[in-house]
Amino acid sequence: MYEFTYQKASSLDEAKEAYGASDEAKYMSGGMTLLPTLKQRLARPSHVIDLGGVNDMSGVVIENDKVTILARTPHAQVASNIELQRVLPALAKLAGGIGDPMVRNRGTIGGSTANSDPAADYPASIVGLGATVHTDRRQISGDDFFLDLFETALEEGEIITKVTYPIPDRAGYMKFPNPASRYCIVGVMVSQRGTTVRVGVTGAGACAFRVPEMEEKLACEFSPNAVADIKVPAEDLNEDIHASAEYRAHLVTVMAKRAVAEAIS
């Protein structure tokens, strides 16, 4: 790691002030992405501002029709929340399938969302459940949040404070994990809320995206068969040593079918 100055902020204001006062600062939440990046010398921030000391930034709150997850909530806490397992089991399952238990003890929803890793799990839920990302300055609709590979709608120094999810009538999440890292080769979150159906895909493209054609078909008939013949075009999909673009396109359909099957089971 290159040298940097570490600062633990005790409030959002302090974090923002520290950010503004340095040349090239990085916020740190769980550090499960940032620290490996620094260790590989892929980034060279002058300051690392730890959000770990900010109070009231961790927890799962369930109200009548929505679930709120504060930005610093570790994946393990989301996965093991008993009430969440009851009202939105697909989201608890998603969090419980991220990485491994040690990663889940540290990694957080805020860090994962801000990072927009093409293979991360949470982005599928933000798009597929129609979440809203709340920051220190505004609310951003989940549909407008992910822009590209590691690129989001966040502005310089903007901090995610929480993510809110409307509770769907039913939802299912299915991922095809990379057997070594557990990151998604493809992951699909499907949800139905009244007449609205959402299909959110991660792992396949530069960032999470919806599949309108599948959503239309599922709105008429919410069954795995409804999406069986819909294939997303392979152009523009990710290609690496683990899976070709063509294979990822195929997996989107398979995972979508399985996610629907889970939602109705």
Partner 1 sequence: MTVKFSITVNGKPVEGETEDRTLLVQYLREDMRLTGTHVGCDTSQCGCCTVHIDGKPVKSCTILCAQVDGCEITTIEGLAKDGELHPMQNAFRENHALQCGFCTPGMVMSAIGIVDRHKDESLDEKTVRHELEGNICRCTGYHNIVKAILAASVTMNKNA
Specify whether the CB–CB gap between 178 and 238 falls below 8 A.
no
How far is Cα 127 from Cα 209, in angstroms, rounded to an integer?
Answer: 7
Specify the residue, 34 or 227, whose C-beta has the smaller distance to ligand FAD. 34
User: Residue 111 touches which of ligand FAD, partner 1, none (CB < 5 to 8 A by kind)?
Assistant: ligand FAD
Read out DSSP for 163-195?
Answer: EEEEPPSEEEEEEEE-TTT--EEEEEEEEEETT
* Burial bucket for residue 211 (CB in 10 Å: 0-12, 13-18, 19+): buried
Q: Is 125 in the site for ligand FAD (CB under 6 A)?
A: no
How many residues interact with ligand FAD (rule CB under 6 A)?
A: 31
The answer to the question of residue 53 lying near ligand FAD (CB under 6 A) is: no
3 state DSSP class of 43: coil
Residue 263 lies near ligand FAD (rule: CB under 6 A): no
Binding ligand FAD (rule: CB under 6 A), the pick from 19, 58, 77, 111 is 111
* Shortest Å distance, C-beta 103 to ligand FAD: 4
- The Cα 199–Cα 194 span in angstroms is 15
Please say which residue, 93 or 217, places its beta carbon nearer to ligand FAD. Answer: 93
* Pairing mode of beta strands 66-70, 132-135: unpaired
Residue 23 binds which entry of ligand FAD, partner 1, none, CB below 5-8 Å type-dependent: none
Shortest distance (Å) from residue 180 CB to partner 1: 8
Quote the CA–CA distance of 239 and 75 in Å, as a whole number: 28
Using CA atoms, how far apart are residues 174 and 35, in angstroms rounded to an integer? 28
**Closer by beta carbon to partner 1, 11 or else 244:** 11
Residue 6 binding: pick among ligand FAD, partner 1, none (C-beta 5-8 Å cut-off by kind): partner 1
For residue 142, what is the enclosing H or E element? helix 142-145
User: Is 116 near ligand FAD (CB under 6 A)?
Assistant: no
Q: What span, in angstroms and rounded, lies between the C-alpha atoms of 31 and 98?
A: 15
Q: How far is the CB of 28 from partner 1 (least distance, A)?
A: 8
Report d(CA 156, CA 241) in Å as an integer: 33
Q: Which residues bind partner 1 (CB under 8 A)?
A: 1-6, 8, 28, 31-32, 35-36, 38-40, 48, 50, 52, 76, 80, 99-103, 105-106, 180-182
Q: Does 107 bind ligand FAD (CB under 6 A)?
A: yes
Minimum CB distance to ligand FAD, residue 176 (Å): 11
Cα separation, 19 vs 51, in Å, equals 11
Is residue 133 within 8 Å of 145, Cβ to Cβ?
A: yes
- Under the binding rule (CB under 6 A), the answer on residue 91 touching ligand FAD is no
CB of 261 to ligand FAD, least distance (A): 22
Q: Which residue among 121, 128, 200, 257 contacts ligand FAD (CB under 6 A)?
A: 121
- Interface positions with ligand FAD (CB under 6 A): 26-34, 36, 51, 71, 98-99, 103, 107-108, 110-112, 114-115, 117, 120-122, 159-160, 181-183
